[in-house]
Structures are given as C-alpha cells and as structure tokens.
C-alpha cells in the first residue's frame, strides 16, 4: 500500500495547527499550590491531560487516565505494544517574551508558546500521526499507544507511577529531541550541596541573601544578592561592579538603600544539558561577590562556588569524564540560594556518559562535601540509555528519515534526558531538524509549522512501518 504521508498531513493541517494552539494555551507548569492527592501536579497540568483525553475520545481512540499521573490513547490490536511517549508539562515561562507565553501566536510560519517545541507541539504531531493511520483504516496488527507524561520537566514521578500500573511497550520512540535519531542518552542525576549557617558579627560586609535559578535543569537567567556594610562605601562597590560587568560583557545592576546594597545579574537561560551555551547569572554574580570582605559562612558559601562550580565539566569537583559514545560529563548549577545565619544550597544537575562509573563519582562528590563542611543529597537519578545501532527499530527509523529528507540518518547521542529511557528498546526521534535553532526552555520558544507537519508525516509512517 502506497501512502503519501505528507499529503495526508496537509489535508489535516488547519485542524492540527488549531489543536496545537489550544493545547499550548493551557499553562501546564508544575503547581505545588494547587496539587492534591487526586491532582498530583496541579490544576494546569490536569487541564492539559484532560484536553488530550477528550480529544482522543472524540476521535475514537481507547483512552485511559492513570490517576492523573499520566494517560494513554491507544489503537490497534495484538500482543505487541508500540509506545510513543510525549509529555504535557512545561518549564516556567521566565521573563522577556515578545508576546504572552501562552498565547500561541503565529508569526512568520511559527507558533510561539512555552511548550511549542518541548513538548506539546511534538506530542500533538504524534497524536495526529496516530489519527492519520487510524483514519486510513489500514490494518494495524500491533497495539500503538501514545503515552502522555505530566512530570517530565521535574522528577519523572509520572512515568514511575504509570509503569507501576501499566505494561511497558516492547519498542517505541519519543518525539522530544533531535532528528535524525538519538540512540544514546547520558545518565542524569540531581544533587544538592547544603550547609547550615551561623551568625558572624564584626564583618565589613554581610551577605544577607543570595538567590539564583528555579530548576536543576535550567541555567539561571537572573541572580540577586543583598549585602550590608558598615565601613565600605557603596560608591566604591558600584564602581567595581560596573567595571566587572563591563570587562566580562555582562549586564548587572547596583542599588543602595538604607544601609544595604543590592546587586543583580542577568544571564542567558538554556537547557542544563549544555550549560556553556548560556550564561549562569548566579555563578557570575558569585564570582564578583567573593572579592568583597565577607567572613565566616558568607565567605565559605561564595568561596565554594568560586572554587568548585566555576566550570561545567566537573574538573574541580574531580568527576570529569568523557567517552566516545556520549562525550563529556556536564554539570549545571541550576539553583543557588543563601540566607545569612540560615541555610545555603547549591543544587546541580549532572549528566554523565554511558560508560561512567556512577558509584565512584558519587563517592567523589560526597568527599568534596565532607571536606568542606557541606552535606550532599541525591534528589533524583536516571541511569544512561543506549540502544543497539543495528536494531530493527533504529534501521526502520533511519529509512524513514532518509526517505523524507534525502539526508543521511546519522545516529546521535545527547546529554538530555527523554522518555526513551523508560523503555529498553526506544529512541528519541525528532522533532528538531538539523540546522534549526534549539529554543526549548528559552524565551519566545517556538515550533516551525513546516517542520511540525513534516515530523507528523514521518511519525505516521513510523507507526505504519513498525506495525507491519
């Protein structure tokens, strides 16, 4: 049976765009304030989940809500289960958007919204791929299930709960990364270095507070520190800070009021899988502050950052590593916070190669903590993922990619974590085409409509070919 997949997508283009916009207009960030036992991740995420379940039911799919942790839409028959895994939660919108982050405006052939690329747009593309195959009435001798996650951007509690209740697909793909095919993913672990402060009197400068970042996996785009001093004139600090920002090409502000001075620093937020593509506002502000005359815990907090957190490859921490499959270990310092006489925290996200000895790395990080008066906690850990390059899944998707693009389907390895690692035999498959800007987690996030349509056609063919 010869099917023009691109033509089938074009026939449904307007409705695909409209449904994508409707989904993107739902603010589905993790919301602890509205979270309950029945709604574990808050009202916005529940609304997005209900939207997809209602859409699937209307279009004739078998639908199931798994305790509002996740859900699936299913078609086909047979013992073997093919999984397509997408997620409906998004990271916080951040500042500096040209338009409302949830307006889903269309400009210059792009849909702009938080989640447009990561991962609501691609999830809707996968949904329409299933819909096309279903509408065509072709024989599907395997079950195909679109699995909808709701906590991918945080702790993956959705997948843990879902697969406790539901069967695991035997094969699958994830529309939440790059084309051509990602067959290997680094391990991912979140840690915090913590200490309890104590009050130290008599210092020339006191660090009242320091804050930067919201998420382990995002480079902080803004940092603020409030400092008090009895003996150093604010004007001297202002001049030094202005010179520091100018020398390093940074943007920061300085203000003095009633015995306190406030420093702010602007950075560039990017996904934490490659921190060097952004500018960490917290690290750069700490780099300046450590030159001020602090003592005690104030000094210890800033000095630890300056000594051990100044680069992204873990060299100073003693965990630097690289292999030929997934390249360098990376560390993103996503949250830095401190209160004088209270608690300090450095929260970081580590992404390590598939051949890295994690147990040994953990021991090294523990020793650094104990040697410098800190404690360390591991918050989350996802092991690395690697699929055989010669598997039927990989070969099938390579063929599809090459047919639709005319380009070689190179196999990729990434530092990002996708739902592919939830299934032993699964890979990430798009939607970002080579040469396109990666705007996930950034302001003015968008998806190119032309690319979304092409991805939909490729996903439809993947469903068809994998069910033969």
Q: What are the residue numbers of the active site?
A: 89, 152
28 burial class (0-12, 13-18, 19+ CB within 10 angstroms)?
buried
Name the token pair of 464. 């068809």
Q: Which residue has the tokens 């072709």?
A: 138
- 3-state class (DSSP) for residue 302: helix
CA atoms within 13 A on the CB side of 468: 10
Phi, psi for 464 (deg, rounded to 5): -65, -50
Handedness of CA 403, 170, 422, 50 (dihedral sign): positive
What is residue 341's three-state secondary structure?
A: coil
- Beta-bridge mates of residue 279: 268
3-state secondary structure (DSSP) of residue 330: strand
Alpha carbon distance 155, 165 (integer Å): 18
Question: Is the bond leading into 347 cis (omega within 30 degrees of zero)?
Answer: no
Residue 109: Cβ-neighbour burial (10 angstroms; 0-12, 13-18, 19+): exposed
DSSP conformation letters of 379-425? EEEE--EE--TTSHHHHHHHHHHHHHHSS---EEEESS--GGGGSTT
Contact 42, 33 (CB under 8 A): yes
Q: Are 221 and 269 in contact (CB under 8 A)?
A: yes
State which H helix or E strand residue 451 sits in: helix 449-466
Per-residue exposure over 303-342, b if at least 16 CB sit within 10 Å of its own CB, e if not: ebbbebbeebbbeebebebebeebebbbbbbbbbbbbbee
Q: 180: cis peptide before it, omega within 30°?
A: yes
CA distance 403 to 408: 9
Q: Name the DSSP class of 64.
A: E
Q: Please report the sign of the dihedral spanned by the C-alpha atoms of residue 378, residue 322, residue 184, residue 273.
A: positive
Asked if 445 and 119 count as a contact pair (C-beta separation under 8 A), the reply is no
């Amino acid at each position: 049976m010869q099917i023009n997949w691109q033509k089938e997508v074009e026939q449904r283009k307007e409705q695909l765009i409209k449904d994508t916009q409707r989904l993107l207009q739902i603010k589905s960030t993790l919301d602890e304030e509205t979270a309950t036992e029945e709604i574990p991740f808050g009202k916005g995420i529940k609304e997005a989940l209900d939207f997809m379940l209602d859409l699937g039911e209307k279009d004739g799919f078998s639908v199931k809500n798994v305790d509002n942790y996740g859900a699936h839409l299913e078609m086909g028959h047979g013992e073997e289960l093919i999984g397509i895994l997408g997620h409906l939660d998004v990271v916080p919108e951040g500042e500096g958007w040209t338009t409302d982050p949830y307006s889903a405006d269309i400009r210059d052939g792009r849909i702009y919204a938080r989640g447009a690329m990561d991962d609501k747009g691609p999830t809707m593309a996968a949904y329409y791929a299933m819909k096309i195959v279903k509408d065509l009435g072709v024989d599907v001798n395997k079950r195909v299930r679109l699995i909808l996650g709701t906590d991918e951007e945080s702790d993956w509690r959705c997948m843990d709960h879902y697969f406790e209740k539901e069967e695991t697909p035997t094969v699958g793909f994830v529309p939440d990364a790059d084309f051509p095919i990602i067959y290997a993913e680094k391990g991912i672990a979140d840690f915090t270095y913590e200490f309890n402060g104590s009050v130290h009197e008599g210092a020339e400068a006191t660090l009242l507070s320091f804050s930067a970042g919201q998420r382990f996996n995002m480079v902080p785009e803004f940092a603020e520190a409030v400092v008090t001093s009895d003996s150093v004139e604010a004007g001297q600090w202002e001049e030094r800070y202005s010179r520091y920002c100018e020398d390093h090409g940074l943007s920061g502000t300085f203000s003095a009021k009633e015995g306190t001075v406030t420093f702010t620093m602007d950075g560039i937020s990017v996904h934490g899988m490659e921190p060097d593509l952004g500018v960490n506002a917290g690290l750069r502000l700490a780099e300046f502050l450590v030159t001020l005359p602090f003592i005690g815990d104030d000094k210890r907090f800033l000095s630890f950052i300056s000594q051990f957190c100044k680069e992204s490859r873990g060299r100073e921490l003693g965990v630097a590593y690289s292999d030929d499959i997934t390249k360098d270990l990376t560390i993103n310092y996503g949250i830095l916070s401190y209160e004088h006489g209270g608690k300090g925290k450095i929260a970081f996200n580590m992404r390590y190669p598939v051949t890295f000895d994690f147990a040994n790395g953990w021991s090294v990080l523990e020793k650094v903590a104990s040697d410098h008066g800190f404690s360390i906690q591991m918050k989350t850990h996802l092991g690395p993922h690697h699929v055989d390059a010669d598997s039927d899944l990989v070969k099938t998707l390579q063929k599809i990619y090459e047919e639709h693009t005319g380009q070689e389907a190179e196999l990729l390895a990434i530092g990002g974590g996708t739902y592919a690692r939830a299934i032993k035999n699964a890979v990430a498959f798009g939607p970002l085409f080579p040469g396109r800007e990666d705007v996930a987690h950034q302001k003015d996030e968008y998806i190119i409509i032309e690319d979304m349509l092409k991805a939909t056609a490729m996903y439809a063919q993947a469903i068809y070919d994998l069910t033969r």
